[in-house]
Amino acid sequence: MRLLAALLWFTALWEATGAISWLAFREVPAEAWNSTRLCRLSRQNHGFVKRQQKLCRRYRDVMRHVHTASHSSVDNCQRLFARHRWNCSSVTFAPSYSRDLTAGTREQAFVYANSAASLMHAVARACSAGTIFYCGCGRTPRRQPEGNFKWGGCGDNTKFGQRFARKFVDSPDRRKSKRKSREEKLRAKVNLHNNRAGSKAVQKSLTIQCKCHGVSGSCSIKTCWRALPSLLTIGERLQRKYRGAIEVSMRRVGSRLQMAPATTAMGRFSQEDLIYNAKSPDYCSRDESFGSLGTSGRQCNASSSAHDGCQSMCCGRPYNTFTVERIERCQCKYVWCCYVKCKTCRSWVDVHECT
């Protein structure tokens, strides 16, 4: 009985965390990504589901970019939320996440969207760089360019990037979305929606980049292509969606269960919005089971009224102020040839820390 209970508990935990467990792939040494054995052990060691394991074997030269995306997804999340109460620290627990990333919170919504966007971004850029056998440059726009330029160059292949990312990140939840349990259906549908929102953010972030051609640097001919900005720029777009995320629930419409806003006051949501189905705690107190480390000991900005301000970060608690010496390189000058010479500057600054 104990063995059966333990097995059921482990299965439930695995299914709850499986969708973004592939972020554990970041722990693989960079030189090991191309190993056949790595794909074979990916379910056991890196949280892959069966479908992801098959993709690993089929798209061997794409897996190095899955490895890159697992790193960039975590780094991007932690950089964007470094000065928030929830600082994305629990994303490093892959493949065994705490409840902030399994209960259906808005933090989970961001991590899903951000990881899908990171994978699509990495693969789309790799296609245009020529490092993936299965794809090449992005398709040239059909519409005629507006302005004094012509389409050319090698644009980022967001179409292939989106197609691969959707196959890979959707695999765990696609099966769960067809189950009978209302809770499982809702969680899976929310995850799939947020994956799609991450892909939409990448697609919407495409910009036009150009290169001039002509005698002596003149721009008599200008060639342009569609390219992606940095992942941080896309992450900032998703972070704005995170702040305006919409709570949803399953409602019966006729004979069918459908996902809809939890209250009519929230209005409708689009494919680009992030959605969640469970309220988040305030992350003020330590609760490791939920992924909340609390804010005691965190630094804050006494002059800010935003999320990094001491009033918000310390949750109304007092904070201590310390004066510390800061040593920086300053007054840097380029010396011919060929190095930069700097001075060492010392200053005293106040550092504020939540109690």
Domain residue ranges in the chain: 2-294, 310-354
Give the C-alpha distances (Å, rounded to integers) separating 99 from 13, 55, 107, 227, 257.
10, 28, 10, 36, 25
Q: Residue 178 is encoded by which pair of tokens?
A: 């067809």
Residue 12 scores a pLDDT above 80: no
Residue 306 scores a pLDDT above 80: yes
- Lowest-confidence pick of 49-53, 161-165, 298-302: 49-53
pLDDT digits (tens, 9 = 90+) for 123-145: 999 999 999 988 999 988 877 76
Q: Tell me if 131 sits within 8 A of 125, measured CB to CB.
A: no
268 φ, ψ (degrees, to nearest 5): -90, 160
Confidence of residue 44 (pLDDT cuts 50, 70, 90): confident
- Pairing of β 150-151 and β 221-227: parallel
Dist. CA 122–CA 110, nearest whole Å: 18
Q: Give Cβ neighbours of residue 91 (< 8 Å, ≥ 6 apart).
A: 23, 73, 74, 77, 78, 97, 101, 111
- Lowest-confidence pick of 11-20, 47-56, 199-208: 11-20
328 vs 211, which has greater pLDDT? 328
What does the pLDDT read at residue 216? 67
What does the pLDDT read at residue 318? 96
How many other β-carbons are positioned within 10 Å of the β-carbon of residue 5?
Answer: 9
- Lowest-confidence pick of 19-33, 288-302, 306-320: 19-33
Residue 217 scores a pLDDT above 70: no
Confidence of residue 13 (pLDDT cuts 50, 70, 90): very low
Q: Tell me if 40 sits within 8 A of 193, measured CB to CB.
A: no
DSSP helix/strand/coil, 303:
coil
pLDDT digits (tens, 9 = 90+) for 50-100: 999 999 999 988 999 999 999 999 999 999 999 999 999 999 988 889 999
Mean pLDDT of 247-269: 80
pLDDT digits (tens, 9 = 90+) for 167-205: 999 998 887 766 667 788 899 999 999 999 999 999 999
b/e code 58-67 from CB counts within 10 Å (16+ = b): ebbebbbbbb
DSSP helix/strand/coil, 47:
coil
- Lowest-confidence pick of 10-14, 47-51, 121-125, 328-332: 10-14
In CATH, what number does 310-354 get?
Answer: 3.30.2460.20
pLDDT digits (tens, 9 = 90+) for 233-245: 999 999 999 999 9
